[in-house]
Structure 1
């Protein structure tokens, strides 16, 4: 009888071991279900073509959108894009409504105080856009003129970084986005627009002959992805993905699609 009981106990214990092994085969240490991929929420200005904007079907598309999707895929993360008020981008980030700002975000010393940046992935200029028949040929010709730009943009920062020039303007008017500013230029409500080169040239390519760019500009800047200051681990992973994308030529292919050439820094 004792032998039968011992044999029965052995069979029961063997079954328990097999059940335990079956749970472990799901790929998690304690038989738990595999965790769902971490989701990152990317904040963007959805009018900022060609970096991030809505196509004719209302879908979010653009260079930065594709870059973010590719990086998230490499990190095994889900990505959600959230349109935000660009003028409140730092508040959105630090209140954790979004996890990243990825939309032609210029790296500046002032922004570094509140934002953790990746390495620059693109260079950009702050150009001066006028009408083809404008008498504005140099930066000095902006004296006494009405200048338009986007509210809360690096273009406005670039203007303010040259106070000796800015103080000669008759007025600076800010708009919700660069497209609105360029439309104001077209109908004569402003005399010139200071804007991101990447955005402006893409927009102007759709309207050939309607605008001109003078040789002078308000300097070069660099684009980076912005995270919260304490998200150092996520920054490291993201930078690794961006480095790999560049080394493999993936970033270059995305750039060629949207700009016609490789403009990755």
Structure 2
């Protein structure tokens, strides 16, 4: 009996040590670790044009990419860009697979429960895009239609907040892993409308041909972009806020905005 009890206790201790070694403590500020490592890992959706995406040669580019490079460089660190599953972005952050979520990341009350945000640096809204010949002219015309959005996106949250989804064909929007897939289905006629960030939608439209699309006057609401930081990382959050303010004051944020949008849209 004593031998059996000892064996069980040893097994429990071994399992505890195993999980203890592999667990990740997200309750401590990691600034010292980042300084020692010399890098900050930025999580992003590599299809989210023009904020952070891969070009035809596979190079990672975009407005947020340039902004992150400048801001992290001013900390004396190097950015490392890590494509992630956007559905798991907060999990990736809080398990320390990444250090920041920086890719057109909309500030919402629900997300504030999981992460801290920097000050907003860009305004956005959730627009409704249809094909140019569509008879959909207003939000009410979406009733009974097939409407698309990206999974785990702020567009989906905005639709749900208004309770509009129940009026769509099937009682819910069709969800895609990427907006590239959603727009391909719109062009093919498999969906009737796409709800998306205006910044992304305008870029897609300019790239694919403005004559093909129509953006409705009505939308699913205004929003703001911020950078997502672990709640424990107060030093990193403070440094980011100070540097983003500095970049707005010295004109470097404006220069990056002019490069990608042809005008200064930074808050």
TM-score (norm 2): 0.84
* Partner residue in 1 for 2:5: none
| Mapping 1:131-170, distance limit 5 Å | 131-163=131-163, 165-170=164-169
* Partner residue in 2 for 1:187: 188
1:114 aligned onto 2:107:
no
Aligned length: 230
Q: Contact 1:37 / 1:78 at 8 angstroms: preserved in 2?
A: no
Q: Which protein is richer in helix relative to its size?
A: 2
Deviates more, 1:37-46 or 1:110-119: 37-46
Deviates more, 1:166-175 or 1:40-49: 166-175
List gaps (5 residues or longer) in structure 1: 1-34
- C-alpha change, 1:76 and 1:37, in structure 2 (3 Å) is farther
Shift of 1:45: 0.3
Higher relative contact order (CA 8 A, sep 6+): 2
Larger radius of gyration: 1
* Partner residue in 2 for 1:79: 79
| Runs ≥4 residues deviating over 2 A | 35-38
Task: Report SS of the residue matched to 1:161.
Answer: helix
- Cα deviation per residue 1:41-99 (whole Å; 9 max; x = unaligned)? 00000011100001121110000000000001111011100000000001100000000
| Mapping 1:99-248, distance limit 5 Å | 99-163=99-163, 165-171=164-170, 172-208=173-209, 209-248=211-250
Task: Report SS of the residue matched to 2:96.
Answer: coil
TM-score (norm 1): 0.85
1:69 aligned onto 2:69:
yes
- Cα deviation per residue 1:92-135 (whole Å; 9 max; x = unaligned)? 00000000000000000000001110000000010000000101
> Structure 2 CA distance, aligned partners of 1:196 and 1:229?
26
Task: Report SS of the residue matched to 1:105.
Answer: coil
* Partner residue in 2 for 1:260: 262
1:38 aligned onto 2:38:
yes
Task: Report SS of the residue matched to 2:257.
Answer: helix
Shift of 1:38: 2.6
List gaps (5 residues or longer) in structure 2: 1-34
Shift of 1:210: 1.4
> Structure 1 CA distance, aligned partners of 2:123 and 2:36?
36
Shift of 1:152: 0.7
> Structure 1 CA distance, aligned partners of 2:116 and 2:50?
24
| Mapping 1:15-30, distance limit 5 Å | none
> Structure 2 CA distance, aligned partners of 1:225 and 1:189?
34
Deviates more, 1:192-201 or 1:171-180: 171-180
